[in-house]
Amino acid sequence: MLIRKPRRNPGRVRAVLYAVLVHAVIIGLIVIGFRWTAQAPSGQKVIQAVAVPQTPPKKAEEPKKPTPQEEQVRQSAETEKRQQVELKKKQQQEEQQQLELARKKKEAEEKAQKQKEQQQQKRAAELARQQEQKREQKQAVQSLQEQLVAEEKARQNAVQAARAATVVDQYKALIRQRVTHSWSRPLGSTKGLKCVVRVRLTPSGEVLAATVVQSSGNPVFDRSVENAVYKAAPLPLPDDPSLFDNFREIEFLFNPETQ
Amino acid sequence: MKNTKHLAASLLLVLALAGCAGEQATKPSAAEEKGAAPAQTAPATEQGTAGTALSEQERMKAQRQAELLAQKRVHFAFDSSAIDDEARAIIEAHAAHLAANPDIKIQLEGNCDERGTREYNLALGERRAQAVEQMMKVLGVAGSRIKTVSYGEEKPLCQEHNESCWRQNRRVDIVYK
Amino acid sequence: MTRTAARWLAMIGMLWAANAQAVLTIEITRGVETGTPIAIVPFSWEGPAVPAAQNVSGVVAADLARSGHFAVLPLKDYVSQPHEDKDVVFKDWRILKAEALVIGNVRLVAPGKYQVQFRLYDVFKESQLAGFRYTVSADILRSVAHQISDIIYEKLTGEPGAFNTRIAYVTREEPTRTAVVYKLQVADSDGFNPKTVVRSAEPLLSPAWSPDGSRLAYVSFEDRRSKVYIQNVADGRRELIAEFPGINSAPAWSPDGRRLAVTLSRDGNAEIYVMRMDTRELRRLTYDPAIDTEAAWSPDGRDIIFTSDRAGSPQIYRMSASGGPAERLTFDDDYNARASYAPDGKSIVFVTRQEGNFRIAVMPLTGGPMQVLTDTSLDESPSFAPNGRMIIYATEVRGRGVLASVSADGRVRQLYKFEEGDVREPAWSPYNRDLKYKE
């Protein structure tokens, strides 16, 4: 006996296909519909720009190694140290000399007393003593002279330091002028804005680093200030390398006074 | 033949009417600035009875009226719609003419000089035209015969930037329709 | 301690102090106001030649220079002319003291399609501040250039630019002694590419941009009296909005574009009405026998400022857009009119008369004093740019009507050059919506 299989619905496959097709069409229409509504109200298509990202930052050019200059700096530092040591030595010598003086004074006194008691050996002893006294006086004069010379030198150093301070002031004014001239102040009101930029310089006036240590709160203002310092470089510095320490680090306070 | 007869009849009729109207001449077009006809005929209307001997005074008065009626503009002070004596006289002359000629209609066109803002001047021009209209109504002219429009500073008579030109432009034009 | 010893100690102390890490402080109180130095390298061009007006980098350079905020460095000083990122040598631009650098290129990538790419750099930090690529047809190149200017302007000043905008204005020409032609035109913000939108033998006034920039409302005397029309800028289709008896003028769109304020004198004298665009229903706002006109909406759509001479002379008043009492805003001088709000709603610009001279002034709404921005004598119809930084207005130069612009702080002023006739009634459009660079 043949077992009859239950008859399948003949049009089933086709029905499913049609259903899928209809669904696809509807979904397609919905998608297209969305695309239409995304257009500008006037019917004109809006053109979207594509962002072109920043390429990896290039290595900044190596600044010239300031070896010769560093050497100079180091040498001048060393000479200064040497000078200080010498000065200390001299001071010690001075003190020693003073002690010697005091001591010798005492000895002379004792000898005078002895002379008073032993008057028989006077002449030879007195002569000797007188000679000794003369020598001592000479020494005293000499040490006094040396003292005067030392004082004179101290005075001269003070004057030099004062002169150095004037030079520093002069170059400070020059730097100020240069940076003022290089600052493209943002147009528009900058009243009340303050920005402090700390700059580290090389002895030749180039900028090693510039950092905003106190922001004005306005990034455009801050950027203009940093740019001012960069554009002003190399900054004018005094020829005397011993004065560089005054300019190694500078803080610029940008504080526009007018509106 | 028939046409010619009709035409002749029409012509006769027109002439007759013209004669009856007496002083009423052909209506001047709105574009015309100087309507010579009303000026000529007005004095006769004013006089009433066409007497044989007009007194010297009356003749001068008639001439004055003719001159006033020939003026189709009244002028104003800056930012003002107040009517001064000169303007008043002109308006009175026109009002009288209108009273005597009930079929005539006019348009009052308000204008300003170039100073100040255009929109404000549009409103100011209207105010000037309305001031003239008001005075005419008071003098007996029916409002339905007067139309007002403002051109603000858009229709100047001259383009210079000085007071004499500005004064010329601060005006209301009386335009016969 | 003996005096000598003391002296020695003092000297040592001084030397020691000098040797320490001292930080010198220098105060800078002034700068130069020439604008940010910027270098713009002419973009490289690959493809068929286009008219000079579509030279993208040329338009950018002109825009930035015109703003008064930038000093565009001259081409002759450029050591190199890179067009690609890899060709940029920052040292070349540092020596010029350029703070910013713009490079770019344009190439034809398909028939009629140009690809424009540009980059903006911070020279001293050696970093890119912006970079974008556009693919457009030749007729959009100018818009792209203006948007590039906007991007650069915003990155470097922190404020949005207004270069990708348009201006509408009215010209009057006398081709023959008896014929007069009025035209309502629309041009780029720099005056290029003028397109005539309306042409008439009778006056045209008061063009007003709809908030989406697609339509202009204006006053036309083509029927020998004032009527208000609204016209679509792109296709020229127009509709008559107001032709009531009397004056129909001073149209002003509400910020949402749904209402229009107009001046009508249908009820006897010039009053301000608000018309609903959907129903054309009118609502009267002012009830004063004085002249009330020149309405302008606040950016939040709540208030209207207008000109009224109810106090005897034209002054600026403010009232709620839904009606009510009006508050007087201007008290100085005997003539203040044609006021409009700045885009941020904090100040207004208007025409003021000082000793007979009509000038442009701005005034904060917080109650501060007015600041007069111009020193000429026949200035009128001021209109703010959508970034609130520039004001365009009409003025007279040597007897001829011209357009000029002034920065909102009064520092920078420029004249627009037109070929023929008198120009008046400028109106600055909202931002163009044809190009986008922000997501």
> CB C410: neighbour CB atoms within 10 A?
16
B126 occurs within a structural domain: yes
Query: Do C131 and C187 share a structural domain?
Result: no
Tell me whether residues C291 and B149 touch, CB distance under 8 A: no
Residue C130 lies in a domain: yes
- Chain C residue with the nearest C-alpha to that of B131: C269
In terms of residue numbers, what domain contains B91?
71-176
- Locate C93 and state its tokens: 């631009």
Task: Provide the number of structural domains found in chain A.
Answer: 1
Q: Which residues of B touch C205 (CB under 8 A)?
A: 118-119, 122, 152, 154
Contact C371, C361 (CB under 8 A): yes
Give the chain A residue whose CA is nearest to the CA of C4.
A151
- Count up the domains in chain C and report the number: 2
Q: How far is C170 from chain B (nearest CA, A)?
A: 12
Query: Which structure tokens are listed for C374?
Result: 């111009």
Segments forming the whole domain that contains residue A200: 70-254
C280 and C408 belong to one structural domain: yes
Residue C153 sits in the same domain as residue C188: no
Chain C residues in contact with B119 (beta carbon < 8 A):
205-206, 249-250, 263, 293-294, 307, 338
C176 and C152 in a common domain: no
- Give the residue from chain A lying closest to C7, CA to CA: A154
Domain boundary among C119, C139, C157: C157
Give me the pLDDT at residue C46, please: 83
In a domain, A12, yes or no: no
C32 touches chain A (CB under 8 A): yes
Same domain, C379 and C302: yes
Chains B and C touch (3+ CB pairs under 8 A): yes
Say yes or no: C135 and C215 in one domain: no
A187/C122 touch (CB, cutoff 8 Å), yes or no: no
B and A touch with 3+ CB pairs <8 Å, answer no
**Edge-to-edge strand ranges of the sheet holding C238-242:** C204-209, C215-220, C227-232, C238-242
Residue B113 lies in a domain: yes
Q: Are residues C212 and C174 in the same domain?
A: yes
Residue A245: per-residue pLDDT: 86
Distance from CA of A50 to the nearest CA of C (A): 5
Tokens (6 digits) for B156:
């100047």
**Closest CA in chain B for residue C309:** B120
> What mean pLDDT is reported for chain B?
79
Do residue B123 and residue C337 have CB atoms under 8 angstroms apart?
no
The list of chain C residues with pLDDT below 50 reads 15, 17-20
pLDDT, tens only, C207-232:
999 999 999 999 999 999 999 999 99
Give a yes or no: residue C201 inside a domain: yes
Which of A151, A230, A258 has its CB closest to that of C7? Answer: A151
Report DSSP state, residue B153: T
Question: Measured between alpha carbons, how far is B175 from B169 in angstroms, rounded to an integer?
Answer: 16
> What pLDDT does C327 receive?
96
Q: How far is A247 from chain C (nearest CA, A)?
A: 6
CATH number of the CATH domain containing B77 = 3.30.1330.60
Tell me: do C131 and C256 sit in the same domain: no
- Specify burial of residue C343 (Cβ count, 10 A radius: 0-12, 13-18, 19+): middle
Query: Residue A86: CB partners within 8 Å, gap ≥ 6?
Result: none
**So what's the pLDDT on residue B45?**
45
B88, part of any domain: yes
Return the SS3 of A111.
Answer: helix
pLDDT recorded at residue A42: 45
Q: Which residues of C touch A257 (CB under 8 A)?
A: 29-30
Interface contact flag, C135 A47, Cβ < 8 Å:
yes
Q: Which pLDDT value is given to residue A165?
A: 77
The answer to whether residue B63 is domain-embedded is no
Same domain, C293 and C184: yes
Q: What pLDDT is stored for residue A258 in this prediction?
A: 62
The reply to whether A19 falls in a domain is no
CB contact under 8 A, A55 and C86: yes
Picking from B109, B114, B119 by the largest number of C CB atoms within 10 A of its own CB, the best residue to mutate is B119
Q: Is residue B36 part of a domain?
A: no
* Whether residue C153 is found in the same domain as residue C170: no
Which one of C222, C294, C396 would you mutate to disrupt binding with B, by most B Cβ within 10 Å of its Cβ? Answer: C294
User: Measured between CB atoms, does B120 come within 8 Å of chain C?
Assistant: yes
Say which CATH number the domain at A95 has. Answer: 3.30.1150.10
Structural domain harbouring C411: 166-428
Residue ranges, chain A, pLDDT below 50: 37-43, 60-63, 66
Last residue of a domain, one of C157, C175, C201: C157
Q: Is C131 on the interface with B (CB under 8 A)?
A: no
CA B162 to CA B168: how far, in whole Å? 10
Q: Which residues between 62 and 101 in chain C have a beta carbon less than 8 angstroms from any beta carbon of chain A?
A: 68-69, 71, 85-86, 91, 94, 97, 99
CA distance B149 to chain C (A): 7
CATH number, domain of C220, equals 2.120.10.30
C215 shares a domain with C266: yes
Query: If you write DSSP's letter for every residue of C179-215 in order, what string do you get?
Result: --EEEEEEEETTS-S-EEEEEESS-EEEEEE-TTSSE
Domain count, chain B: 1
Q: How many CB pairs under 8 A join A and C?
A: 191
Q: Is the alpha carbon torsion for A197, A198, A200, A201 positive or negative?
A: positive
Flag whether residue B177 sits within 8 Å of chain C, measured between CB atoms.
Answer: no
* Same domain (yes/no): C129, C270: no
CB-CB under 8 Å, C434 with A248: no
Instruction: Report if residue A197 sits inside a domain.
Output: yes
Q: ipTM of this complex > 0.90?
A: no
- Cα separation, A141 vs C346, whole angstroms: 87
Question: Element (H or E) spanning B133, and its range?
Answer: helix B118-138
Is residue B61, in this structure, part of any structural domain at all? no
- pLDDT per residue as tens, chain B (177 positions): 555 665 555 555 544 444 444 444 444 343 333 444 444 444 444 444 455 556 888 888 888 888 888 899 999 999 899 999 999 999 999 999 999 999 999 999 999 999 999 999 999 999 999 999 999 999 999 999 999 999 999 999 998 989 999 999 999 999 998
In a domain, C151, yes or no: yes
Q: Do C134 and A172 touch (CB under 8 A)?
A: no
Predicted local distance difference test score (pLDDT) of residue C12: 57
